[in-house]
Structure 1
Amino acid sequence: MHTNTAHCVRAVQAKDSRFDGWFFTAVLTTGIYCRPSCPVVPPKPQNMTFYPSAAACQQAGFRACKRCRPDSSPGSPEWNARADTVARAMRLIGDGVVDREGVPGLAARLGYSTRQIERQLNAELGAGPLALARAQRAQTARLLIETTALPMADVAFAAGFASVRAFNDTVREVFALSPTQLRARGRGAGTPTAPGTIDLRLPFRAPLHPDNLFGHLAATGVPGVEEWRDGAYRRTLALPYGHGTATLAPRPDHIACRLALTDLRDLTLAISRCRWLLDLDADPVAVDERLRADPLLAPLVDRAPGRRVPRTADAAEFAVRAVLGQQVSTAAARTHAARLVVAHGEPVEDPGGGLTHLFPTPEALAALDPEALALPRSRRATLVNLVGTLAAGELRLGPESDWETARQQLTALPGFGPWTVETIAMRALGDPDAFLPTDLGIRHAAAALGLPRTPAALTARAAAWRPWRAYATQHLWATGDHPVNSLPA
């Protein structure tokens, strides 16, 4: 999009927040870069140039605007709506893979050489993986500087910098302020919190309809791992350096997020997991425009614009839960999952509520006795095969997954039919076009709206909704009277 100069200029002049994260405006006369919705008076068009990423702006020598804080804009919706190599690389960089495993680790996860990955990212984003990861470290550093009282040396290493000197140089270069000056500007913005606890605001593109998003997460939450408390969804997080809890509450213009982490080096990944879980980088205007073109869907979209797809904080966890949920009620699926959690999950302490465990890893579940499962024999076999494949690394579900390859691998497992595969594709892999025409709730909604009832005919009709059929699914589900469709009391 950044190559369409006329389009970008119009978005900047209109201060259109819908395009925040899609591109960045660099101002030649001031040497700063902004998000399109920056509140300052727009510069003259001849003084603007446009870049596809904050990293590209920084690499070109521009510093971040102190008013609009472009580093904190929502992420580009492209990285969640695509499954090509660049999109998968961006999701992995967002998860902090480059900081933990380096560029070779990123390339290995994607099945390419480092040179190929660097070439593709530079061609599309104007910056390579190291520059993109550096921009992300700068954003994490700013959060820690402004929201905690950590010593600067601790901030540097928690944000992923190899040295305090690199931290100081990057902060000065990106923000045109020293770390101490940046902390002074942010002082008083938050309230005191316990050590290891950080409060922040997660931005999103408006509109956002929270009812089905939080309602689904609360209604299907696994006791001990998830809960709804005091108007917020809470859950435990298994992270590379430790564990944590996330508390997420909808607000009119942001998601209030409180993270309690045993190791602050996990901050970047924890934020990424929360954004992914709530589908915050979606482009609701584009989604709603496509779905509204169908006269039978238009009233649903007009009634609740900005629906998101509730996802998961851990793809392997969700795959296990999808198997447990085959052909049973929501309550029964929660009960089965809770038993696994108590028997095989790692205990954690939660001073703020009722969270007790991390969801068990595939490695922990690979050792379970199938006879101890209160499931039909065929479903026991399905679960055992799944966790064994995940534990052995033969099936990888995560940001690096190619959606179609993952579908094929899942379909090849015994007991995995179209409903289970598409459910995992939608909520664990994040495919915005996943569709469940065999789902009973979808078929009932289709019949009530006058849509075709048979899976084949409904799939044919739904071709007009592509590539946003997962969002159409949310609208169809919302026609039913079920707790997943409304915020808990």
Structure 2
Amino acid sequence: MLGAMHSDTERCVRAVQSRDARFDGWFFTAVLTTGIYCRPSCPVLPPKARNMRFYPSAAAAQQAGFRACKRCLPDASPGSPQWNERADLVGRAMRLIADGVVDTGGVPALAARLGYSVRQVERQLRAELGAGPLALARARRAQTARVLIETSLLPMTEVAMASGFGSIRTFNDTVREVFALSPTDLRRRANGRARPVSGGLTVKLPFRAPFSPSNVFGHLAATAVPGVEEWRDGAYRRTVRLPNGPGVVSLRPQPDHVRCDLALTDLRDVPVAISRCRRLLDLDADPVAVDELLAADPLLAPLVRATPGRRVPHTVDGDEMAVRAVLGQQVSTQAARTHAARLVIAHGEPISDPGGGLTHLFPDVTALADIDPETLAFPRSRRATLLGLVAALPRIDLTPGGDWRAAREDLAALPGIGPWTVETIAMRALGDPDAFVASDLGIRIAARELGLPTAPAALIAHSAAWRPWRSYAVQYLWATGSHPINHLPTDSP
């Protein structure tokens, strides 16, 4: 079982002794003789096996009294892929903690979103992760603090606020406890990496190799809604609605990380913005596991070998993606962009973007509730579908902590919402790694060219061998075509 990997001592020891970076984020290694914890790929000479202890989370290692290694920075490793793969309580809870729910509403808010009691949530997280939600949220705040300390020249009081700490004293105590250094000493060790913050902040987003940016960035750029998204100077940029105000994120692929530039209204939104960018680009995926399974199909194997490490383009806002899925029903990518741009101009909230051409936030459900159907330039049946979806969205949870099964059922019950729309929303908004758009035109064309069944029912039957990674199979199948979604843009607008 994935969640129990830290208890497989022999396997963990082998991973540490071989410095296997594939397991970074899966578990953490604590060393009894030094009192530190590391990622499996730590470059320091591996300790003796009898001195190793393994933990399922950084929070658990911290609670056991270990401090983070100053060489491998274990808290900066990609997150465990299982939290985005699992639809159970623990997986949903971890996605919500990453989205800042505990920071803004405490454990009661987390439990309410999950539909469980506080006691049940505490018990299950402790049983599987060795730490409760408060400790997990604290570890996340410590990670954000380290990033801001080392990459910016923000005053420490502002770093504390942006990291989610309630007081400068708690901030100082936590940093010392987790990193065995004061905030000032951490900044001093950054060796000139810190930069002034003048309306923006730059952080590095790590990922597991291999990482192919072509399809995820190509898809986001090719489907970009004017005013809300753009491809400019080698970066995908978009507006985001955050808990404390709007922001603009810029994401640029680099050989060993994704550069993330943030321009936020309120620095308290830094950790949420980072989490949503990671989720948007699917950076916590386990490409080795995905590609190994898909390549077992002889018809997919050449595609996987040609461009390993494809990711699934997700979203920063589930409701937005649901609306865009309906707008994209049975029309071209360009037509869907045009329809969405009209909604944005008519109902979106204007924003300022000195660094580019972004003009609006995508309209939220409240703003879309005022749509006049006669202003929609598409068939009457699709107008009814869109209005029905907008009316239903307040009771359908498409957030990172949403119940995938319940959301699918609620969507499928709406008039005009068929399997293609449900699976598109499940893949991109809910982040279900096993969503499969069997009736998609691009998928049917790819199936025909590869010798796969083309009828949806037969293709679904064949795709059973690709489970639980069918969303990734979709990316490889789409890549057989020449559509712009498969390629990085070469020019700025």
Common fold, TM-score beyond 0.5? yes
Are the counterparts in 2 of residues 231 and 249 from structure 1 also a CA contact under 8 Å?
A: yes
Shift, 1:187, TM fit: 4.6
Q: Does 1:95 align with 2:107?
A: no
Shift, 1:281, TM fit: 0.3
Q: Does 1:425 align with 2:429?
A: no
Q: Which position in structure 2 is the counterpart of 1:6?
A: 10
Q: Which position in structure 2 is the counterpart of 1:388?
A: 391
The correspondence of residues 139-154 of structure 1 with structure 2, limited to 5 A, is 139-154=143-158
Q: Does 1:308 align with 2:307?
A: no
Gaps of at least 5 residues in structure 2 are: none
SS at match of 1:352: coil
Q: Counterpart amino acid of 1:424? A: I
CA distance in 2, matches of 1:312, 1:397: 11
CA RMSD of aligned residues (A): 0.8
Shift, 1:29, TM fit: 0.3
Q: Which position in structure 1 is the counterpart of 2:250?
A: 247
CA distance in 2, matches of 1:150, 1:488: 34
Shift, 1:243, TM fit: 1.2
Q: Which position in structure 2 is the counterpart of 1:184?
A: 188
Q: Which position in structure 1 is the counterpart of 2:415?
A: 414
Cα deviation 1:310-348 (Å, max 9, x = unaligned):
111111000000000001100000000001111111111
Shift, 1:2, TM fit: 0.2
Shift, 1:388, TM fit: 1.4
Q: Report the more deviating stretch, 9-18 or 139-148.
A: 139-148
Are the counterparts in 1 of residues 81 and 284 from structure 2 also a CA contact under 8 Å?
A: yes
Shift, 1:4, TM fit: 0.3
Are the counterparts in 2 of residues 190 and 199 from structure 1 also a CA contact under 8 Å?
A: no
SS at match of 1:2: helix
CA distance in 1, matches of 2:416, 2:283: 32
CA distance in 2, matches of 1:179, 1:448: 58
CA distance in 1, matches of 2:22, 2:10: 16
Q: Counterpart amino acid of 1:445? A: A
Runs of 4+ in structure 1 off by over 2 angstroms are 190-193
CA distance in 1, matches of 2:392, 2:366: 10
Q: Which position in structure 1 is the counterpart of 2:352?
A: 349
SS at match of 2:72: coil
CA distance in 2, matches of 1:14, 1:201: 25
Q: Percent identity?
A: 74
Q: Does 1:203 align with 2:198?
A: no
Q: Does 1:293 align with 2:325?
A: no
Are the counterparts in 1 of residues 103 and 137 from structure 2 also a CA contact under 8 Å?
A: yes
CA distance in 1, matches of 2:195, 2:37: 30
SS at match of 2:308: coil
Normalising by structure 2, we get a TM-score of 0.98
Q: Which position in structure 2 is the counterpart of 1:401?
A: 402
CA distance in 1, matches of 2:451, 2:162: 54
Q: Counterpart amino acid of 2:268? A: R
Normalising by structure 1, we get a TM-score of 0.98
Q: Counterpart amino acid of 1:144? A: L
CA distance in 1, matches of 2:272, 2:10: 36
Shift, 1:107, TM fit: 0.1
Q: Counterpart amino acid of 1:353? A: G
CA distance in 2, matches of 1:378, 1:101: 40
Cα deviation 1:180-225 (Å, max 9, x = unaligned):
1111112511444423x11111000000111111000000000010
CA distance in 2, matches of 1:149, 1:110: 38
Q: Counterpart amino acid of 2:99? A: D
Are the counterparts in 2 of residues 201 and 255 from structure 1 also a CA contact under 8 Å?
A: yes
Shift, 1:62, TM fit: 0.3
Cα deviation 1:356-386 (Å, max 9, x = unaligned):
1100001110111111111111111111111
Q: Report the more deviating stretch, 278-287 or 250-259.
A: 250-259
SS at match of 1:244: strand
Q: 1:214 is matched with which residue: 201, 212, 217?
A: 217
SS at match of 1:153: helix
Q: Counterpart amino acid of 1:128? A: G
Are the counterparts in 1 of residues 153 and 197 from structure 2 also a CA contact under 8 Å?
A: no
Q: Which position in structure 2 is the counterpart of 1:274?
A: 277
SS at match of 1:316: helix
CA distance in 2, matches of 1:386, 1:457: 30
Are the counterparts in 2 of residues 215 and 484 from structure 1 also a CA contact under 8 Å?
A: yes
CA distance in 1, matches of 2:253, 2:384: 39
Q: Counterpart amino acid of 1:316? A: D
Q: Does 1:238 align with 2:241?
A: yes
SS at match of 1:131: helix
Q: Does 1:263 align with 2:253?
A: no
Q: Counterpart amino acid of 1:302? A: R
Q: Which position in structure 2 is the counterpart of 1:435?
A: 436
Q: Counterpart amino acid of 1:249? A: R
Are the counterparts in 2 of residues 208 and 308 from structure 1 also a CA contact under 8 Å?
A: yes
CA distance in 2, matches of 1:291, 1:447: 18
Are the counterparts in 2 of residues 212 and 478 from structure 1 also a CA contact under 8 Å?
A: yes
Are the counterparts in 1 of residues 6 and 54 from structure 2 also a CA contact under 8 Å?
A: yes
Q: Which position in structure 2 is the counterpart of 1:449?
A: 450
Query: How many residues are treated as equivalent by the alignment?
Result: 486
SS at match of 2:395: coil
SS at match of 2:430: coil
Cα deviation 1:384-419 (Å, max 9, x = unaligned):
1111122xx311211111111110000001110000
Shift, 1:34, TM fit: 0.3
Q: Which position in structure 2 is the counterpart of 1:364?
A: 367
CA distance in 2, matches of 1:164, 1:465: 50
Q: Which position in structure 1 is the counterpart of 2:489?
A: 488
Gaps of at least 5 residues in structure 1 are: none
